[in-house]
Structure 1
Amino acid sequence: MAHARPRFPSPHERRGSAAAHHGAGDAAPSADDVAPARRAQAFARHGFYSDSNIRHLVSYAADRGIRIVPEVCIPSGAGAAIRSYPHLGNPHLVRCGDTRNATSLWPSTSSLSFVQAALHRACDLFPSPFIHIGAGPCDWGEWEADSALMRAGFPLGSDIERVFVERALRTLRFHGRRAAAWESLTRSFPTPPDGTALLSRGESAATIDAAAAAGGCWVLADERLLAPSMSAAPATAARAIGDARRLYERLPEAMRARGLAGCEVVARPATTASPEKLMTQLVPQLLVAAEIAWHGDQALTWERLAPLIEANAAYLERAIPRWIAQRT
C-alpha cells in the first residue's frame, strides 16, 4: 500500500515559533538564538567530557578489556539537549520561555538533523559496534495534541517516534553500527529493526521473542535487581556488603533466562554522585554482577568473593582521587 510521504510543518505554521525553529535550509542562528545554549550552562552540575577526554577513556577502557557503549537518548530523555537548544523541544514550552520540563524532541527538521549529527559524532568517538539510541518510554500525547503535526500527516505518536528511530538507524548503518535500545522500542516497532539489542527492565516473553525475531539479543537491566541502593541513609560498608550479598543470591537465577546476552548494572548519577556512595553502593554490586555474569555456575562462592569485594573497594578508595566537579 502506497502512502504519501508526510511533511513536517514549517516553522511559520507554528504561530509564534518561527524564531525558535531552524530547518536545514534556514539562515544560521542569530546571536539571540545562541544565547539560550550559553544560559543553559546554569543548569550544569558536573561539566562535560571533551573529545580528548572521551578518546582517553575509550583507550583506557580498551586496554583493560572494557568497551564503552554510548547512549544518545531519542526521542525522549533529551532534556539536556533541549535546555541547550530550546528549539529542539516543544514549541509551546519554548514560547513560554520554560523548557525545564521538556524531555522529548519535537519533530522538526532541526531535531532530525540534531539526532543525525549527534550519532555521527558518537560513531566517530566510540568504536563500539553498538550505539544505544535510548527509545525509552515516550509520551506521545503532546505530539498527538498538536494540530499542525496532525495536518502534516502524523496522526499517531508512534508514526513520529518511528521517524526519529529510522533516522538514527540510517545514520548507524552508514557507519556499519548496530542499535541498542530499551524494550519500549517495541511500542512503535513490534519487530525491532534487524540486529537490534534490547535492554529490558525485567524478563519478558514479548521482549525475548522480539529480540529473537530481529536477530538481535536482549540484556537484563532491571533496576529493582541491578540498581545500587537508592537509600538516602548514610552509605556504610556494612550496608554495601549486605546489598551485594542480596544481589549475589538473586542474580544467578535471573541470568538463566532464555536468550539473555548479559546484564547491566543501572547506576543513576544522581544517586552515586559522591565518592562515598560510589565506593559503598556501586563498586560492590559491580563486582558481584561481573563475577556472576562472566563466570556463571563457576562463580566464586560468597565466602571467597566477599573478602575480594572489601579489598577492591578499599584499594579504589585509596587510589581514586576525590574529584569535585567545577561549577559553571
Structure 2
Amino acid sequence: MESKVFPKLQKMGGEGQFYTQNEVKAIVSYARDRGIRVVPEFDIPGHTTALLAGYPELASAPGPYAVKHTWGVHDATLDPTNEKVYAFLDTFFGEVSKLFPDHYVHIGGDEVNGKQWSASPRIQAFMTARRFANNDALQAYFNRRVIEILRRHGKAMIGWDEIIAPGMPATTVAQSWRGKDSLATSVGAGYFAILSKGYYLDNALSAAEMYANDPTAGPIASLPSADQARVLGGEACMWTEHVTPKTLNRRVWPRAAAVAERLWSPASVTDAGDLARRLSRWSPIRTAPQTPFHGTPSAIPGVIESEDYDNGGEGVSYHDTDGVDTGQGYREDEAVDVEPFGDGRRFDVGYTRPGQWLKYTVTVAAAGAYDLNVRVSSGEAGGVFHVEDGSGANLTGPMTAPATGGWDTWTLVHASVHLQAGRSVLKFVEDTGGYNLDSMTFTHP
C-alpha cells in the first residue's frame, strides 16, 4: 500500500507493486456499500523484511535487507528497544488510520523467531534491565507500546494468537491460526477471539470439512457462557505461496461460501450433503468434450504420465472431490492436484482421495496381455487404486501403493491386464487416498 510519508515502503519493499491511496479509498467505499468492513493487516514485529529493505535502521540487526522472493519465516524483526521504531509506527498508523475507517487494525504478531533479539547484546541488556524472562515478554512489551499508538489514533488491535500475554487490554482480539486450544485460551483469559484454523482456502480441505469446523465446538463448548460469547466468529484466509492468478478463484470459491454459511449458522446445522447440493446450483460445473490432452491418444505399449489426463473438465475427464487445485505449475486452471517433484521439471498427481478418478484416451497397438507398472510414492501408509476400461470393467483388481518412506521416494506396483486393440479410454480410480501417482507404463510380457 502507498505511504506518502514513507515512500520507500512501496518503492523498495513493494518493488513498485502496491495499491495507491486512491485505490484503497475506492476498495473501502465499494465494500462499505455492500456491508463489508475492510480491516488492514500490517505484520509487525516479524515478517518485516520488505519494510526493512527501505528502512534498515529500524531492524534488530544491521542491514542491508533485501526483499525476499520465497515464502517462509525469516529472521528480520523490528527492534523493540529502539524508540525510532515507535515514532515510525506512530506516524505510519496515523497515516493509514485516515484511509481505513474501521475500528480495528491487525498488527500480525505471528512467527517471530527471536533470533536477532537473542543474538544482540544490546537487546539482551535491555531485557535484563526490565526483567524480561524471554523473547515472548519482549514481544508483549512491543505489543503494549503498539496498542497505545493505535489507541491514540482511535483504533483497537487484532493480532494472531501469539500476541496474547498478561496485561493486554480486554479490547484486544486474538486470531487463532494454531487451533481451538489457543482460541479457548484467549477467550478464557478475557480477550475476544476469532478462528482461522481450518478455514485456510489454500489448503486441501473440502467444503464439507470447512463446514464441519464450528468455532464454538471443541474446548470452547466446556467454557462458561461469558467466555463463549467472546468468540466473535472466524475468518477464511487465502495465502498465496502455492496459488497463481489462474488458480485463485478456484481456491476461494465455492468453499468460501461454505465458511460463510458455517459462521452465520447455528452449530446444529450440519448437513454437508444439503450444502453440497446447494453449492452445485450456485456454482455450476463447466465441462467440454473429452479429448486427449496432447491432441492424440497415448500409445500402448508406452508410458502414460498421470498429469496428462484427458481434456473435458470435472465429471468428464476427471473427478476431484474438493474442486480445488492444490498443486502448482501445470494445468492450474483445473481441479486435479498436479504438483512438481524431484528437480521440479516432472509432475505427479497428489492429494489422492477416495472416489476421485482420471481418464486417459489410449490407442492399443494389438490385443492381448500387457504388464502394467504404476509408479507411486507415499509418505504415509499407502493406499489402494484400480484401473478400469471404458465400459467400467475392472482390469486390475485392487492395487496397493505401499508406504515408500517419502513423497519423493518411488516404487512400482505391478498388474497384468488384457487390452483390446484400437482406441479406448482407461480410467484410474482412487479407492483410497494416501499416495502420489507419477505414471502408468504398459509393456508386452
TM bucket normalised to smaller? 0.5 to 0.7
1:200 Cα offset (Å): 0.8
**2:62, 2:186 → 1: CA distance?**
36
Contact 2:50 2:67 in 1 (8 A): no
| SS of alignment partner, residue 268 of structure 1 | coil
Greater helix content? 1
Residue 243 (structure 1) aligns with: 206
Distance 1:201 1:98, change over 3 A: closer
The yes-or-no answer on 1:192 pairing with 2:168 is yes
Any gaps of 5 or more consecutive residues in structure 1?
A: 1-33, 232-241, 315-328
- Distance across 1 between alignment mates of 2:136 and 2:283: 48
Q: State the distance in 2 between where 1:313 and 1:211 align.
A: 44
RMSD of equivalent CA atoms = 3.2
Match of 1:261 among 229, 232, 239: 232
Q: Which of 221, 226, 230 is the matching residue for 2:196?
A: 221
- Partner residue of 2:78? 105
Counterpart position of 1:71: 41
Amino acid at match of 1:183: D
Question: Which of 1, 8, 12 matches 1:40?
Answer: 12
Answer whether contact 1:133 1:180 (CA < 8 A) is retained.
Answer: yes
Does the CA-based 8 Å contact 1:86-1:99 persist in structure 2? no
State how far apart, in whole Å, the 1-side matches of 2:40 and 2:7 are. Answer: 28
Using a 3 Å threshold, how does the CA distance of structure 1 residues 206 and 247 change in structure 2: closer, same or farther?
closer
Cross-structure match for 1:319: none
For 2:244, the equivalent position in structure 1 comes to 273
User: How far, CA to CA, are the matches of 2:20 and 2:7 in structure 1?
Assistant: 21
Matches within 5 A, 1:56-205: 56-94=26-64, 100=68, 101-107=74-80, 108-152=82-126, 153=129, 156-186=134-164, 189-190=165-166, 192-205=168-181
Count of aligned pairs: 259
Q: Distance in 2 between matches of 1:306 and 1:210?
A: 33
Contact 1:201 1:221 in 2 (8 A): yes
SS at match of 2:29: helix
Matched-pair contact (CA < 8 Å) for 1:191–1:213: no
Q: Which runs of 5+ in 2 are unaligned?
A: 1-5, 69-73, 221-227, 288-445
Over the matched positions of the two proteins, sequence identity in percent amounts to: 21
- Per-residue CA deviations over 1:33-80 (Å, capped at 9, x if unaligned) read x99878736x73x81111111111011011111111111211112122
Distance 1:179 1:313 in 2: 43
The structural deviation recorded for 1:129 is 1.5
**Contact 1:192–1:211 (Cα < 8 Å) also in 2:** no
Q: Of Structure 1 and Structure 2, which has the larger fraction of its residues in strand?
A: 2
Structure 2 contact 76–116 (Cα < 8 Å) conserved: no
> In the alignment, does 2:254 pair up with 1:291?
no
Structure with higher RCO (Cα < 8 A, 6+ apart): 1
What is the TM-score of this pair, normalised by structure 2?
A: 0.51
Q: Which protein has the larger Cα radius of gyration, Structure 1 or Structure 2?
A: 2
Read off the aligned partner of 1:218 and give its amino acid letter. A
Q: 2:182 & 2:8 partners in 1: Cα distance?
A: 42
Equivalent residue letter for 1:161: Q
1:185/1:306 Cα in 2 relative to 1: closer, same or farther (>3 Å)? Answer: same
